[in-house]
Structure 1
Amino acid sequence: MGGAQRKGVVVSSVAEDSPARKAGIREGDILLEYDGTPVSARFDEEVPAVARLIADTEVGKTVKVSLLRNGITLSLPLTTQELGKLLGGDMECKEWGLTVRGITDQMMRDEQLPDKLGVLVTGVQEGTDAAQAGLQAHDVIRLLDNRDAAELRTFESIYAELVTAKKPKVLLKVFRRGAVKYFVVKSAYEKPGLK
């Protein structure tokens, strides 16, 4: 999935052998409509909702995707397939209200990061534990509960452990615009709609 803009969603990357790649979708395309539903994301925080729309599609279903490429509107058929927990490279941390992604070489250059350590926050939902803690899109989480979260797989494992244990306060070490910051995510785990 990609970045926010006024109308549609910019496709920032397309995984090899993915349904999007097979359908002919390219990096830089602007997704306008998915299976008859207009999509847009004016802010980075709205991109996870678009990813959810796509993820909620029945596996094996062929949908029509409308997109804009070089000023020309195209309509492409896309057949969905099971993607597992990582949707389009993003991991949804539903209990905290944020999405994260493993850092690639390209992302390291785009975000001007010194290295690939940690996970990049790709979206924070308003009113959630992550938002109340002060986390923002483009933050890089390096430590989670004083444990090294150097890559997405490690982050996912630690996060699952913390949620299962229902730990009420978790300290995060975050890299933001060249500075190291610390945040505490406080979670009650019993909030309506966050089950």
Structure 2
Amino acid sequence: MGRKSALILGLVFSLSTSLWSQNEDAWQKVKNIAEKNLVTIEYYEEINSTESISQINKIKRSLSGVIVDSSGLIMTSAAIYKAKLDFSRSSHYGPAHPPKDIKIKLAGGKSVNAVFVGKDDDKNIAFIKANKPLDSNGLKFFTQSDNFIGQKIFVVYQLKEKYNFQLMVLEKSINSIIPGPPKKMLTDIGTQSIKFGLVFDKTGSNLGIIYQVSSASSMPYNYSSRQAGFGEILTPESFNALIADPPKFKKKNTDRKKWLGVNMQPFTRSLASYFNEDDLTGILISTILEGSPAEKAGLKIGDVLTEFNGTKLQAEKNTDLATLRNLIRESDDETVNVKIWRKGSIKSLKINLSTVPISQYLADEISNERLGFSAKELTKDIIMAKQLEYDTDGVWVSRVERAGWADLSGLHVGDLLLKVDDQDLQSISQLDTFLGRLEKEKPAYISFFVKRHSETRFLFIKTNFD
């Protein structure tokens, strides 16, 4: 071997050794940070039953979380409390109450009790707090603006209980960057199942959290394998403010996001051509809800929103609508300036945004074990689901005890209570007052006038107070 060849081989070996050493150091740094700050959360989730008003079943679940300050505040996935708190995101599944009996499992087998603090559904983040400070000052997240597609990253998460929640470290790449708000990055993680984890760059600096894994069917690109998935990485600029001031769950007084009160659709090039406005871009308003900020500001069905607080709007497909939705919900301003196209001309409007109405999960609920049913105040998500007039007031049946008096009379979950003993019923407080008199008056029968789907009917509950 010539002297020159030996010199080249020596340089290659030296460089390889150096790179291997750097990579090993980064792996060890990531592992040490995760071991100190990534914790296991065990809690009991309520399993709602519409057939019981007294028995509450629970199932034990676990999640990962990360310590984010010295007081014992822990950030985790919003999956810890699945119910959606405002009606624009509401679903008809979810526990009625936040989890209790929360425990944080620490190294060495120790456990610390914790309480639910609050959550942000848009960012899929929740917070719990230990009842005493933990042995960590918390992981600090620093914003990085120079992320790029192809950037090498480490993904760190905890395995399932059968593997004793041991750490798993994956070396991956950033496959896509989705502009915000909020900014997200995607990484292909194959068949891994990750509910919550941390993401680091190749030097071991923290890039954010990975909090959702989707199946191939919901990927934003074509992919041949049904077993593949991607992780969504949320960057620190999206959640550092939440760490500083976590959302607080306070039932009906929970702080909620802002809303406009419209349904919308993309203003496509085909629609632009139809209206002879080939250069016009924006978002088409298809529905305006009664009493909403949009209605009060004078928006009309058929208007095209072209600008929101100085941001130009463009939507060619349904996924583009998220841009406006996020601008509205994350707005710091109570009053915003918008521009709309209406019948050939551009107009400027001011809109006073308000907080989004509560969902059924924040609504007041009362129960009566004698009659065997529970009822909730009527919220906007239920009104829309039942296709009622938007300003409808009333009470709806949320649970009916199997084989109870109400069940035997034919009362169903979902019935809208219009009258009780021929008295109009417009609020949960009126029903509460009526139920409070039952033990004293002990009537032989109670009549309900209800609306079920498109029909109304009378129901008679036979009582037995003896």
TM-score range normalised by the length of the shorter chain? 0.5 to 0.7
Q: 1:37, CA displacement in angstroms?
A: 3.3
SS in 1 for 2:412: coil
How do residues 1-195 of structure 1 correspond to structure 2 at under 5 angstroms?
A: 36-41=43-48, 43-46=49-52, 49-50=55-56, 63=115, 76-77=128-129, 89-114=364-389, 116-190=392-466
Task: Assess, with a 3 A threshold, how the Cα gap between structure 1 residues 183 and 170 changes in structure 2: closer, same or farther.
Answer: same
Q: 1:44, CA displacement in angstroms?
A: 3.1
Given that 2:114 and 2:129 are in contact with CA atoms closer than 8 Å, whether structure 1 keeps it comes out as yes
Given that 2:420 and 2:446 are in contact with CA atoms closer than 8 Å, whether structure 1 keeps it comes out as yes
Partners of 2:251 and 2:53 in 1: how far apart? 20
Structure 2 residue identity aligned to 1:186: K
Deviations 1:151-192 (A, max 9, x none): 1111111221233211120111000001001101111134xx
Given that 2:50 and 2:401 are in contact with CA atoms closer than 8 Å, whether structure 1 keeps it comes out as no
Match of 1:26 in 2: none
Structure 2 residue identity aligned to 1:76: I
Structure 2 residue identity aligned to 1:132: L
Deviations 1:29-69 (A, max 9, x none): xxxxxx8434323x533576448987x99xxx95469x9x8
Unaligned 5+ segments in structure 1 are 1-34, 191-195
TM-score (norm 2): 0.27
Partners of 1:52 and 1:161 in 2: how far apart? 27
Task: Assess, with a 3 A threshold, how the Cα gap between structure 1 residues 37 and 169 changes in structure 2: closer, same or farther.
Answer: same
Partners of 2:54 and 2:432 in 1: how far apart? 17
Identity of aligned residues (%): 17
Give the superposed CA RMSD. 4.0
Structure 1 residue identity aligned to 2:435: Y
Given that 2:397 and 2:413 are in contact with CA atoms closer than 8 Å, whether structure 1 keeps it comes out as yes
Task: Assess, with a 3 A threshold, how the Cα gap between structure 1 residues 49 and 75 changes in structure 2: closer, same or farther.
Answer: farther
Structure 1 residue identity aligned to 2:423: R
Deviations 1:51-102 (A, max 9, x none): 8987x99xxx95469x9x89x897734999999xxx9521112211111011
Given that 2:398 and 2:414 are in contact with CA atoms closer than 8 Å, whether structure 1 keeps it comes out as yes
Partners of 1:119 and 1:138 in 2: how far apart? 10
Partners of 2:251 and 2:452 in 1: how far apart? 34
- Return the index of the structure with the highest Cα Rg: 2
Partners of 1:171 and 1:47 in 2: how far apart? 20
Q: 1:104, CA displacement in angstroms?
A: 2.2
Task: Assess, with a 3 A threshold, how the Cα gap between structure 1 residues 62 and 187 changes in structure 2: closer, same or farther.
Answer: farther
Which of the pair has the greater relative contact order for Cα pairs under 8 Å at 6+ separation?
1
Deviations 1:113-138 (A, max 9, x none): 23523310001010110110111110
- How many residue pairs match? The answer is 147
- Larger deviation, residues 144-153 vs 106-115: 106-115
SS in 1 for 2:51: helix
Unaligned 5+ segments in structure 2 are 1-41, 57-94, 102-112, 131-247, 253-361
Structure 1 residue identity aligned to 2:410: G
